[in-house]
């Protein structure tokens, strides 16, 4: 709390530098205390493996393992690996995405894009690669020695001595808690093992503190409508809140197990995965416009940020939620025309009906799933059809008003159809395209 209250320059910056220094001391100490040539060879080999299998590893989803879970061809560990490790790791970082991105943007103010890429992507990536090569390499070496020596859980020192196995060799899977595996690695270094274990505990606590500091600052910025220096009370409030939530999750994990908490983390990160995709597109477009950027010359939607600031807009959103065909039909009738008159259109009924039919079939079939299996999937098929039909109107509106975009974006944004339909309706509410 004190660190977050002191701000970026006075505390968060210094704490981060201290974390990096202590982490470097720990990493270099265990690296120099062990077989350096083994670790160097492992780093080179891991880098080559990573480059060679980058695409395959990045797109691996364990499809056959998950589909064949009831066939008996695969073990439980093989089937659950993707969910318990890879997907959880993705979800964890996606959950932090919003806070990390805002914090990085706050630190990067005044720097070039090249500086940001070098300092916030490449250098941290190299540091993580070195960390995992050393700590992960030592853990794998210990596990391999335990397997080769037929070490079992709970084996006493006398049995180890008879088998001519060093006392520090252990199966990491025997640790009843995952976090203990990190400290077991230090058992190898007799005279300095206590120093390394204490240093490892300090590193863990310090990184928690810096993470909470950054999160509290970002949450304060968000809750104060973008103020780069949020009030002190807000930062203290978010420090207490984040600490309390963390404590509750730790207690909850002890009672129900890690899988429940992991599922929660993945679920929380899913919305940010979608936002990251849209953010990537936005950054690409801004970079293309940047050399000759003038915001007032770029055509955009009249309702761009979706601020529902009137009772009329709230009513429109409610109508669009329950009856989107009402506005879509009007848009379809006026498509390509400058007049607002819709009553005399010869196919007026069909213009409304083509959107109402798939929309209500979707809802009806979802409810019908209560008594009939798989019927809901037919309903989702109708919803996809509804989205594609509506996206055609949005594409036409973009072309008519000269707004940049593409068909895929039109389809994707219509998944949140109530807001998108209202945006489209607001666009045709004026005679001339909005600039």
Which pLDDT belongs to residue 389?
93
Q: Is residue 299 part of a domain?
A: no
**CA distance linking residue 271 with residue 380, whole number of Å:** 20
The model's confidence at residue 5, banded by pLDDT at 50, 70 and 90, is low
Are 418 and 348 within one domain?
Answer: yes
**Total of domains in the chain:** 2
Are 196 and 310 within one domain?
Answer: no
Are 261 and 320 within one domain?
Answer: no
Are 263 and 345 within one domain?
Answer: no
Closest CA to 299 of 423, 403, 420: 403
**CA distance linking residue 268 with residue 89, whole number of Å:** 13
- Asked if 424 and 394 touch (Cβ cutoff 8 Å), the reply is yes
Are 151 and 41 within one domain?
Answer: yes
Are 206 and 347 within one domain?
Answer: no
Q: Is residue 294 part of a domain?
A: no
Question: When comparing pLDDT for 70 and 109, which is higher?
Answer: 109
- Across the range 339-347, mean pLDDT stands at 55
70 in helix, strand or coil?
Answer: coil
- Structural tokens at position 167: 């006392």
Q: Is residue 206 part of a domain?
A: yes
**CA distance linking residue 100 with residue 93, whole number of Å:** 9
Are 317 and 406 within one domain?
Answer: yes
Q: What is the pLDDT of residues 171-181, one digit of tens each?
A: 887 776 667 78
Which pLDDT belongs to residue 431?
45
Domain final residue, candidates 213, 248, 271: 271
Look up the domain containing 317 and give its range.
306-431
- Across the range 290-310, mean pLDDT stands at 67
Q: Is residue 298 part of a domain?
A: no
CA 88 to mean position of chain CA atoms: 10
Question: When comparing pLDDT for 123 and 79, which is higher?
Answer: 123
Q: Is residue 113 part of a domain?
A: yes
- Across the range 73-80, mean pLDDT stands at 72
Are 187 and 258 within one domain?
Answer: yes
Question: When comparing pLDDT for 47 and 101, which is higher?
Answer: 47
Q: Is residue 409 part of a domain?
A: yes
The model's confidence at residue 326, banded by pLDDT at 50, 70 and 90, is very high
Q: Is residue 369 part of a domain?
A: yes
- Across the range 348-372, mean pLDDT stands at 90
Task: Give yes or no for residue 355 having a pLDDT over 90.
Answer: yes
Which pLDDT belongs to residue 235?
77
Domain final residue, candidates 218, 252, 271: 271
- Across the range 60-75, mean pLDDT stands at 73
- Asked if 242 and 213 touch (Cβ cutoff 8 Å), the reply is no
Are 113 and 239 within one domain?
Answer: yes
What pTM does this model have?
0.68
Are 109 and 234 within one domain?
Answer: yes
Q: Is residue 72 part of a domain?
A: yes
Are 37 and 182 within one domain?
Answer: yes
Closest CA to 417 of 320, 275, 316: 320
Are 93 and 232 within one domain?
Answer: yes
Which pLDDT belongs to residue 377?
92
The average confidence (pLDDT) of the chain is: 80
Which pLDDT belongs to residue 191?
83
């Amino acid at each position: 709390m004190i660190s977050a209250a002191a701000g970026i320059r006075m505390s968060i910056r210094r704490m981060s530098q201290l974390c990096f220094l202590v982490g470097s001391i720990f990493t270099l100490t265990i690296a120099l205390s062990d077989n350096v040539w083994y670790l160097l060879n492992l780093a080179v080999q891991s880098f080559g493996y990573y480059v060679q299998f980058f695409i395959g590893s990045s797109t691996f989803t364990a499809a056959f393992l998950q589909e064949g879970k009831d066939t008996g061809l695969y073990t439980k560990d093989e089937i659950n690996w993707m969910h318990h490790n890879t997907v959880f790791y993705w979800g964890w970082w996606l959950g932090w995405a919003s806070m990390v991105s805002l914090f990085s943007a706050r630190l990067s103010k005044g720097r070039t894009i090249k500086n940001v890429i070098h300092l916030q992507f490449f250098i941290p990536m190299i540091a993580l690669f070195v960390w995992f090569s050393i700590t992960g390499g030592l853990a794998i070496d210990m596990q391999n020695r335990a397997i080769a020596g037929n070490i079992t859980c709970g084996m006493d020192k006398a049995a180890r001595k008879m088998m001519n196995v060093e006392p520090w060799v252990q199966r990491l899977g025997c640790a009843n808690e995952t976090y203990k595996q990190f400290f077991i690695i230090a058992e190898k270094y007799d005279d300095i093992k206590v120093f390394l274990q204490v240093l490892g505990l300090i590193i863990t606590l310090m990184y928690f503190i810096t993470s909470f500091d950054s999160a509290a600052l970002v949450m304060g910025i968000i809750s104060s409508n973008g103020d780069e220096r949020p009030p002190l009370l807000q930062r203290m409030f978010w420090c207490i809140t984040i600490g309390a939530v963390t404590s509750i999750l730790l207690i909850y994990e002890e009672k129900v197990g890690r899988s429940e908490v992991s599922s929660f983390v993945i679920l929380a990160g899913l919305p940010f995965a979608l936002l990251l995709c849209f953010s990537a597109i936005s950054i690409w477009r801004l970079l293309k416009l940047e050399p000759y950027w003038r915001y007032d010359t770029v055509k955009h939607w009249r309702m761009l940020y979706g601020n529902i600031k009137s009772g009329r807009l709230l009513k429109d959103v409610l109508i669009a939620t329950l009856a989107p065909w009402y506005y879509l039909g009007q848009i379809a009738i006026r498509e390509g025309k400058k007049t607002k008159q819709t009553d005399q259109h010869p196919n007026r009924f069909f213009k409304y009906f083509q959107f109402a039919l798939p929309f209500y079939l979707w809802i009806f079939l979802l409810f019908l799933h209560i008594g009939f299996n798989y019927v809901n999937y037919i309903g989702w098929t109708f919803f996809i059809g509804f989205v594609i039909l509506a996206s055609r109107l949005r594409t036409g509106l973009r072309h008519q008003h000269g707004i940049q975009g593409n068909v895929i974006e039109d389809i994707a944004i219509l998944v949140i159809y109530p807001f998108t339909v209202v945006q489209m309706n607001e666009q045709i509410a004026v005679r001339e395209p909005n600039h």
